[in-house]
Amino acid sequence: MIIAGIQTEACVDTTCRRAFSLDYKVTLVSDAHSTWDSQDITAQQIINHHNGVLRWFADVYPSNEITFDS
């Protein structure tokens, strides 16, 4: 399962964790999810944080490193 999307700290985070709990092999595309700045931190800080934390639940790779088997 390859995950990309919007609202890193909500939908993307929850989808990664839930898929992992259901025994899916999860790949998070580190440069293909996004969010908005919060009152306290920037969107990029949120994205960077989640790319690190979600390594417990997914393989995290930038889009240029993801290949598909034919």
Quick one: which of 12, 21, 24 has its CA closest to 53? 12
What does pTM read for this prediction? 0.91
- Please, what sign has the CA dihedral across residues 35, 36, 40, 44? positive
Using the predicted structure, report yes or no on whether residue 70 has a pLDDT greater than 70: no
CATH class of 2-64: alpha beta
At 44-56, the pLDDT tens digits run 999 999 999 999 9
Listed by start position, the domains of the chain span 2-64
